[in-house]
Amino acid sequence: MARTPLIAGNWKMYLSLAESVALGQAVAASCAGLTDREVMIAPTCAVLSTVAGAIADSPVILAAQNVAWEQEGAFTGESSPVTLKDIGVSMAILGHSERRHVFYETDEMVNQRLLGALDFGLKPILCVGELLEDREQGQTFEVVQKQLSKGLQGVTAKQLEQVVVAYEPVWAIGTGKTASKEQAQEVHAFIRGKLATLYEKKLAEKIRILYGGSVKPENVDSLMAQSDIDGALVGGAALNPDSFDRIIHFI
Ligand code: PEP
């Protein structure tokens, strides 16, 4: 079953309001005429509503960089999935390594966020990935498996169809060091195998698994040529309209 590739830009906490609108418009222009792939952007929360207006007439998918697990309540600093949906957000990045390692989000919190996103109709991108020391100690598969199974705890097979997984080795994020295509493919195949064990093979074949970690115009084509790599989650290179345009148009 063919999986539609997804190229996703994570803008992190970069760009002013005006810069965000301009980049949103540039990405929308890059997507003109594209029918065989999906493109998503995740601006910082404060500008989501305005960027939603800027890309309204385009196929660009708007995502949040995180989401609360409750609709409303005393959760200072969090964003409600319902409000996000109201303003045009349809996906959410969850468990990004910066959330896990800078803000100490646990697998349990990521799981709660993911279940909440699904309950309120947002499609989650569940990020998993090992630290450099994990890789050096031969722990990559163990770490990835734990983040995947704990992150998906309580997710039904029907709900899994809405989930995208992103493999992002922490040592490759923002460092300029990309996993080789072989390293990435090996972990992607492992993740798909794990999904087949947790659910079933036919369903695992439908799930998109993105690679993230210093994806650039120079390496996107070879990464995307791997059989289990279904897209890219792009940080730094997503902030430059020309670089992101080239990544969107991977061959
Ligand atoms: C990311 O933020 O998810 C990421 C992969 O960043 P970069 O592309 O800059 O490594």
Tens-digit pLDDT profile for residues 120-153 = 999 999 999 999 999 999 999 999 999 999 999 9
Ligand 1 lined by 81 (C-beta under 6 Å)? no
Contacts of 116 (CB under 8 A, 6+ apart): 67, 68, 69, 70, 81
- The backbone torsions φ and ψ at residue 18, rounded to the nearest 5 degrees and listed phi first, read -65, -40
Output the CA 226–ligand 1 centroid distance in Å.
19
Ligand 1 site, residue 127, Cβ cutoff 6 A: no
Domain map (residue ranges) of the chain: 6-248
Query: What is the C-alpha separation between 119 and 122, in angstroms, rounded?
Result: 8
Q: What is the CA radius of gyration of the chain?
A: 17
pLDDT at position 22, please? 98
* Angle at the Cα of 62 from the Cα atoms of 205 and 160, rounded to 5 degrees: 25
Span from the CA of 166 to the centroid of ligand 1 (angstroms): 11
Please give the single-letter amino acid code of residue 105.
Answer: E
Please, are residues 242 and 251 in contact by the beta-carbon 8 Å criterion?
Answer: no
Residue owning the nearest CA to atom 2 of ligand 1 = 235
Ligand 1 centroid – CA 66 distance (Å):
15
> Is residue 243 within 6 Å of ligand 1 at its C-beta?
no
Reduced to 3 states, what is the DSSP secondary structure of residue 209? Answer: strand
Q: How far apart are alpha carbons 109 and 128 in whole angstroms? A: 14
What's the rounded Cα separation, in Å, for the pair 78 and 46? 12
Ligand 1: atom nearest CA of 172 is: 10
Number of H helices, E strands in the chain: 12, 8
CATH topology of domain 6-248: TIM Barrel (3.20.20)
Q: Which ligand 1 atom minimizes the distance to the CA of 93?
A: 3
Residue in 125, 43, 119 with CA at minimum distance from that of residue 91: 125
What is the pLDDT, as a whole number, of residue 62?
98
Instruction: Look at residue 1 in the predicted model and tell me its pLDDT.
Output: 58
Q: Read off the pTM.
A: 0.97
Write out the chain's pLDDT in tens, 251 residues: 589 999 999 999 999 999 999 999 999 999 999 999 999 999 999 999 999 999 999 999 999 999 999 999 999 999 999 999 999 999 999 999 999 999 999 999 999 999 999 999 999 999 999 999 999 999 999 999 999 999 999 999 999 999 999 999 999 998 888 899 999 999 999 999 999 999 999 999 999 999 999 999 999 999 999 999 999 999 999 999 999 999 999 99
HSE-CB of 29 using CA atoms within 13 angstroms:
8
**What DSSP character marks residue 123?**
E
